[in-house]
Amino acid sequence: MTVTQTSASTTSEFVSRHIGPRPADVETMLQTLGYSSLDDLIDTAVPADIRQDSMLDIPAALSETEALAHLRALASKNVMKTQMIGQGFYDTITPAVIRRNIVENPAWYTAYTPYQPEISQGRLEALLNFQTMVMDLTGLPIANASLLDESSAAAEAVLMMRRANKKKAKGKTVLDSNIFPQTIKVVQGRADALGFEVEVADLSAGLPEGDISGILLQQPGNNGSIAEHEGIIAAAKEAGAMVTVIADLLALTMITPPGEQGADIAVGNTQRFGVPLFFGGPHAAYMAVADGLTRSMPGRLVGVSVDDAGVPAYRLALQTREQHIRREKATSNICTAQALLAICASMYAVYHGPAGLKQIASRANNHARVIASSLVAGGFTLASQSFFDTVVVNVENAEQIISAANEAGINLRKINDTQVGVSTDETTTSDIVKTLLGVFGVELSAPEGFDIPASQVRTSNYLTHPIFNTISSETQMMRYLRRLSDRDLALDRTMIPLGSCTMKLNSAAEMESITWPEFASIHPYVPAEQSVGWRELITDLEGRLTAITGYAGVSIQPNAGSQGEYAGLLAISGYHASRGEAQRNVCLIPASAHGTNAASAVLAGMKVVVVKTAADGTIDANDLDAKIEANKDVLAAIMITYPSTHGVYDADVRVVCDKVHAAGGQVYIDGANMNAMVGLAQPGKFGGDVSHLNLHKTFCIPHGGGGPGVGPIGVGEHLLPFLPGDASGSYTERDGVPVVATAFGSAGVLPISWAYIAMMGGDGLTEATKHAILNANYIAKCLNEHFPVLFTGNKDLVAHECILDLRELTAKTGVTAEDVAKRLIDFGFHAPTLSFPVAGTLMVEPTESEDLGEIERFIEAMITIRQEMEEVLSGVYSIEQSPLRNAPHTATAVINSNWDRKYSVEQAAFPVSGLKFDKYFPAVGRIDGAGGDRNLICSCPAPEAFED
């Protein structure tokens, strides 16, 4: 696509709206830092050795109006039809109150993952509703707070069965042949990477021979049929195998849930609960498990605990099983999941309630029965006599029917040359049914037969909790959403200074287009000519990301950073294998790396070898040499983060890359910190063979409270054949290259990153990076005397973030980094990253979007906290009596006639005077996380729990 340049837009106003500090502020900050110009600072901070020699080769910046006009033009190249393709994706109606108040509301979409539970009670409640909804509908006792997509969730279930079923650890995994083909492919890819056997078999004919670790079934099946699974489930159990059922949640309002049939695990997509098709994603996948499997379940889990006043409070449970703690021993590599989409799906259930959902399901089922009855009356035969919403019809010529349907404005699914699939959904109307029947040349008849088999009719209740039964008017719904979001601190209220996570502006113009129906209503499997606009946008975005990273090509398929890591490492393995070096399977990972790195390496079938950190925070060169030498014949790769997770540009990164290359290894550069490099340095040019980017960090996709994300990978020329698909054609798969997610991954949010890059242009992006570095260095300089900055590079400068070392202060005063994090809440701040990558520290990343005023407010808060630490030291109060240990303070805590603490209520609530005009009170006080883990409750508590 060519983007026209207009002279008016060469200096984009958007750039100055995206970047926080004004030119005069920049001067002030530079003075404090002792530099005469921003370029002077940048030239000192960023090693000359890695600097790119030319400006970014991307089209000039567009204004907001121009960018939106381009997006309109792209959107209009997509063709909107009635989507009856099914295959795991169904049209749905997003209630306007949910679209406007969640999807388009920064209070929800700019929130961070709820690691600080006291400021996240709203989204935690929404996610707990999600878990409760999934548990009820699947009939299983525990559900997590979302996974990435149905196919990868099925793969996670397979791996979980292999972990949990120790007796059959060496057994094969059997997939029923009646599973969606995209799921079979993703699971097969995982199995190939890990070297275990997967067999695809028709399980309706019974279990195949041999030792079986677990089986995977789908309900309803690929051909739409409702299977009677009890028999095969019982047989599998008898044979010592575990059972996973991929189930359609809407169908489960009418048919027996997997939990009641003895399944150990249920997974699936929640897209049709009000989340647009989005050309394939993002959507929240779910996973529910039987008792005993909770601790090995992947993904995040919300649980109920109590705060310091004994009030019920939510927080993420069992964090200890996750990759950021367990690294290569983690249950999965999933970090960013699909929180925002899970929240939407849960609110769809709150909005419709159990009766409303049942009605939506029955209507879709009824339309399908009308279609089936009419087709049979008209002489057609069907592939299956029982179905929920998908009728598979035997025809003479599938292409012919599909193209006739297409002419009539309807997309159908081609199953094979003589079968087409028709899926109904919430949006199906009688008119659509009539048009469809016209395509087949049959008359409308009344539904006759095709009842759900009696043995499969659901008899149990679901969604009985009051939250799904008390909100019926839109006023109530609007207020519920507002009440929850008011409990949370998101980017719309405060800086979120999270090191490694880059919480920058998600501008309104960037967000604008994602809900346009021309983008949002496109099914991922439409014929290529209906998704021309989407594919142009994706190809163009891939091109721009290629130019930015300095690689030879990019694939946007991975739907989170973790999935990019996995795809990138598979590309490396594929490359080694293609050169007859399949034995190369060792992955070197520095001790400071993000936990997903190690977890992804294991999933890609590699062996993790840890490289030590030197005292100055760089990679220990001696240890690196020793590890390379010890593994030189089997060295597959090194995974480094650049700038390092210590917030510093290691000057010798080229040396590290050269050493690994010399030993035959490949270099994976984790690009989560790309915000420190865009326009200044290119990983593809200073030694990287592959990198993932986090579009939900550097490229402005909002965090959504823990997802969605996009983790595209860029690769060098030699790895291009191993990229998981590209946007030419229909993201066609490559021979022998595993797919890691469905087709275009989280396509639906790509217009956000496209708009950001388009409105910034090469100059603007580079300016953003420079200002991010300026802001970080300003904070480091101003706070260093109060909280020493742990690692610095050239001339004591940091990159785009800095680590504040509290360990010595903790030893002296007893005040922990956690106390500081919680006390910051009283100042209305979200905490920095806590204890990563170094325990007992806080990592601060302001990003370019924060203005000097907000940065000064943060510095003031930190210095005030430092003074309170002094007061602990000087004995004004003990640590237990201090406002630090008792933080955060709720309104209930401070508005209390029995106040008897060693500090005043004013100090508790208004430690700095600015707070008198703008005060955030958290809904709960400090939460007992460990206590909640000991007594695990992961569904909505009864309302009585909140009574005094």
CB of 29 to ligand PLP, least distance (A): 25
Residue type, position 462, single letter: Y
Which 711-730 positions form the footprint of ligand PLP (CB under 6 A)? 711
Q: Which of 830, 814, 810 is nearest to 822 (CA)?
A: 830
Amino acid at 268: G
Q: How far is CA 632 from CA 419, 629, 660, in A?
A: 53, 5, 9
Give the contact letters, 495-534, x = binds to ligand PLP (CB under 6 A), - = no: -----x----------------------------------
Minimal distance, residue 633 CB to ligand PLP, in Å: 28
Positive or negative: CA dihedral 857, 861, 866, 867: positive
Integer Cα distance of 8 and 362 in angstroms: 55
165 near ligand PLP (CB under 6 A)? no
What residues form DSSP beta bridges with 421?
392, 413
**Least distance in Å: CB of 47 to ligand PLP?**
19
The residue sitting closest to ligand PLP, measured at its beta carbon, is 561
Question: In the complex with ligand PLP, which residue's Cβ is closer, 92 or 562?
Answer: 562
Should residue 316 be labelled a site residue for ligand PLP when binding is judged by CB under 6 A? Answer: no
Strands (E), 250-360: 265-269, 285-289, 302-306, 312-316
Q: Which is nearer to ligand PLP, 120 or 562 (CB)?
A: 562
**Least gap, CB of 267 to ligand PLP (angstroms):** 19
Q: How far apart are CA 917 and CA 220, in angstroms?
A: 56
Strands 802-805 and 841-844: antiparallel
Q: Which is nearer to ligand PLP, 674 or 715 (CB)?
A: 674
Stretch that binds ligand PLP, among 177-185, 273-281, 300-308, 555-563 (CB under 6 A): 555-563
Q: How far is the CB of 710 from ligand PLP (least distance, A)?
A: 8
Binding mask 681-710 for ligand PLP (x = CB under 6 A): -------------x--------------x-
Where do the DSSP E strands lie in 725-813?
Answer: 802-805
Q: Are 709 and 559 in contact (CB under 8 A)?
A: yes
Q: Which of residues 638-657 bind ligand PLP (CB under 6 A)?
A: 641, 645
How far apart CA 796 and CA 816 sit, in angstroms, is: 25
- x/- track of binding to ligand PLP for residues 894-913 (CB under 6 A): --------------------
Q: How far is the CB of 696 from ligand PLP (least distance, A)?
A: 6
Structural contact between residues 541 and 753, judged by C-beta atoms closer than 8 angstroms: yes
The burial of 730, by beta-carbon neighbours within 10 Å (0-12 exposed, 13-18 middle, 19 or more buried), is given as: middle
Q: What minimum distance in Å lies between the beta carbon of 46 and ligand PLP? A: 19
Q: What share of the chain is helix, strand, coil (3-state, %, to 5)?
A: 45, 15, 45
Cα distance between residue 312 and residue 832, in whole Å: 25
- The answer to whether 560 contacts ligand PLP (rule: CB under 6 A) is yes
Runs of H (alpha helix) within 784-815:
807-813
Site string for ligand PLP, 569-608 (x = CB under 6 A): -------------------------x-x------------
Q: By C-beta, is 560 or 894 nearer to ligand PLP?
A: 560
* Residue 338 makes contact with ligand PLP by CB under 6 A: no
Q: How far is the CB of 548 from ligand PLP (least distance, A)?
A: 18
Q: What is the dihedral of CA 906, 911, 917, 923, to 10 degrees?
A: -80
Distance, CA of 231 to CA of 437 (rounded, Å): 36
88: Cβ contacts below 8 Å, ≥ 6 apart: 150, 180, 182, 183, 269, 271, 742
Report DSSP state, residue 746. Answer: S
561 binds ligand PLP (CB under 6 A): yes
Stretch that binds ligand PLP, among 127-135, 169-177, 559-567, 902-910 (CB under 6 A): 559-567
Size of the site for ligand PLP (CB under 6 A): 15
> Which residue, chain included where needed, has tokens 């070197």?
588
Rule CB under 6 A: choose which of 125, 176, 670, 848 binds ligand PLP: 670
What is the SS3 assignment for 531?
strand
Instruction: Give me the residue label for tokens 């399949």.
Output: 582
Nearest Cα to Cα of residue 124 among 133, 113, 140: 113
The structure tokens listed for 147 are 């996974």
| 714 contacts 557 by C-beta, under 8 angstroms | no
Give whichever of 421 and 561 is closer to ligand PLP, judged by the CB atom. 561
Q: How far is the CB of 507 from ligand PLP (least distance, A)?
A: 21
672 scored as a contact of ligand PLP (CB under 6 A): yes
For residue 299, state whether it binds ligand PLP (rule: CB under 6 A).
Answer: no
Q: Does 336 bind ligand PLP (CB under 6 A)?
A: yes
Nearer to ligand PLP, 67 or 503 (CB): 503
Q: How far is the CB of 672 from ligand PLP (least distance, A)?
A: 3
Which member of 131, 338, 562, 792 binds ligand PLP (CB under 6 A)? 562
Q: Least Å distance between CB 411 and ligand PLP?
A: 32
- At a CB cut-off of 8 Å and minimum separation 6, what does 823 contact? 865, 868, 883, 884, 887, 888
Choices 208-216, 426-434, 557-565, 932-940 (CB under 6 A): range interacting with ligand PLP: 557-565
The residues facing 265 across adjacent strands are 244, 289
CB of 845 to ligand PLP, least distance (A): 10
Let me know if 235 is exposed, middle or buried by CB neighbors in 10 A (0-12, 13-18, 19+). Answer: middle
Q: How many CA atoms, within 13 angstroms, populate the side-chain half-sphere of residue 212?
A: 28
Nearer to ligand PLP, 255 or 495 (CB): 495
Candidate ranges 2-10, 269-277, 558-566, 851-859; the one touching ligand PLP (CB under 6 A) = 558-566
Nearer to ligand PLP, 335 or 505 (CB): 335
* Amino acid occupying residue 149: D
**Contact stretch for ligand PLP (CB under 6 A) within 169-177, 186-194, 398-406, 556-564:** 556-564
Binding site for ligand PLP (CB under 6 A): 335-336, 500, 560-562, 594, 596, 641, 645, 670, 672, 694, 709, 711
